[in-house]
């Protein structure tokens, strides 16, 4: 990979040298010094060498061929290099001529923690009943809190037969019962009717691969069935009044007083004095005029 790297750096105005005081590649331009460590893959040895070169300069890159790591692993490699404040150069040796791509420069990295992931770890620990796993295991099946709950649901279904999630929850299988049955990650359950599930033969066999958890689940179901609270949350009953209790005389309350009914009063404006009109009595002006005319 040296020739493609040398050509890439020389095009940027650097003077390139190889194998200088244990450095694979050095590049200088004025007072600027770059160091590039070459390896066929991102190994621990590469990281050790690159961090050792940081004693010489802050501009340290690692160069690896393209396609040697799967995408997920390659993303992890980039994350580690950024945390170590190292740059990354990838060389595509399958192209003609080989293509060189700089993914990122060595820059100061600020570590940050994701509180959501921390809460997820603490929640998983709290939901496990015991430590059934061996640290560093890669081939064996891990016992998670979800698997523990699924085994409890399977043990309950084996005992009751086909039933609904509601009835299973009443027996103490937990609030995740519905999602465990419907998602069916392990293939242990089968829906036979709307809202009714049963245990498959695969589930019946595989839950016995965890004898300690299976026995513990059966014990939990037995204990909850024997306790009064196993029938589900009790429904609050209304308090019976004293008058319905035998032998208890209710205390007399205050006498009921009928509320007066307010009469509806028609709204009317302010009263005004009537204007005086013409008088028509015997003393009116018209009567005096008639008496003078003899009529």
* Blockwise average pLDDT, block size 10, the chain, 295 residues: 90 91 91 92 91 92 87 89 93 88 87 83 86 76 91 93 92 92 94 93 92 89 72 39 43 52 49 51 52 50
Give Cα separations from 70 to 46, 65, 78, 94 (angstroms).
Answer: 18, 12, 12, 17
CA angle 265, 269, 275 (to 5 degrees): 130
pLDDT at 258: 52
Q: Is 121 exposed, middle or buried (0-12, 13-18, 19+ CB in 10 A)?
A: exposed
Pick from 208, 178, 184: nearest CA to 196? 178
End-to-end CA distance of the chain: 147
pLDDT at 238: 36
C-alpha–C-alpha distance, residues 187 and 206, integer Å = 10
3-state class (DSSP) for residue 100 = strand
- Helix 145-160 with 115-127: angle, nearest 10 deg: 40
Pick from 199, 244, 27: nearest CA to 191? 199
Pick from 200, 169, 168: nearest CA to 186? 200
Decide which of 3.40.50.2020, 3.30.420.40, 3.40.1350.10, 3.40.50.2300 is the CATH code for 2-104.
3.40.1350.10
pLDDT at 185: 94
Residues 197, 157 contacting (CB under 8 angstroms): yes
Instruction: Decide the pairing of beta strands 15-20 and 23-29.
Output: antiparallel
> Can 2-104 and 143-225 be said to share one CATH topology?
no
Query: Looking at domain 143-225, does it have CATH number 1.10.760?
Result: no
The model's pTM is 0.55
Q: Enter the DSSP assignment of 208.
A: G
Domain ranges (residues) in the chain = 2-104, 143-225
Instruction: Decide the pairing of beta strands 196-199 and 189-193.
Output: antiparallel
pLDDT at 136: 73
pLDDT at 254: 53
Peptide bond between residue 153 and the one before it cis (omega within 30 degrees of 0): no
pLDDT at 234: 36
């Amino acid at each position: 990979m040296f020739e493609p790297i040398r050509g890439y750096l020389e095009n940027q105005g650097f003077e390139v040298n190889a194998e200088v005081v244990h450095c694979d590649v050095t590049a200088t331009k004025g007072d600027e010094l770059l160091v590039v460590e070459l390896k066929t893959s991102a190994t621990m040895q590469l990281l050790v060498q690159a961090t050792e070169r940081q004693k010489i300069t802050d501009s340290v890159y690692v160069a690896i061929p393209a396609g040697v790591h799967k995408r997920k692993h390659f993303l992890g490699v980039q994350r580690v290099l950024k945390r170590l404040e190292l740059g990354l150069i990838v060389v595509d040796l399958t192209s003609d001529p080989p293509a060189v791509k700089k993914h990122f420069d060595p820059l100061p990295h600020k570590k940050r923690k994701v509180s959501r992931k921390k809460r997820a770890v603490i929640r998983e620990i709290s939901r496990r009943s015991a430590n059934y796993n061996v640290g560093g295991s890669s081939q064996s099946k891990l016992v998670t809190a979800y698997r523990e709950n699924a085994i409890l649901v399977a043990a309950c279904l084996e005992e009751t037969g086909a039933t609904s999630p509601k009835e299973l929850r009443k027996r103490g299988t937990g609030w995740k019962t519905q999602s465990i049955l419907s998602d069916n990650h392990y293939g242990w359950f089968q829906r036979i009717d709307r809202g009714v599930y049963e245990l498959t033969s695969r589930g019946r066999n595989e839950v016995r691969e965890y004898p300690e958890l299976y026995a513990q689940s059966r014990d939990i179901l037995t204990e909850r069935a024997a306790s009064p609270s196993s029938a589900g949350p009790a429904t609050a009953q209304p308090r019976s009044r004293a008058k319905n209790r035998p032998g208890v005389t209710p205390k007399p309350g205050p006498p009921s007083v009928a509320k007066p009914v307010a009469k509806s009063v028609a709204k009317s404006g302010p009263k005004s004095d009537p204007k005086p009109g013409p008088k028509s009595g015997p003393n009116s002006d018209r009567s005096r005029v008639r008496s003078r005319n003899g009529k």
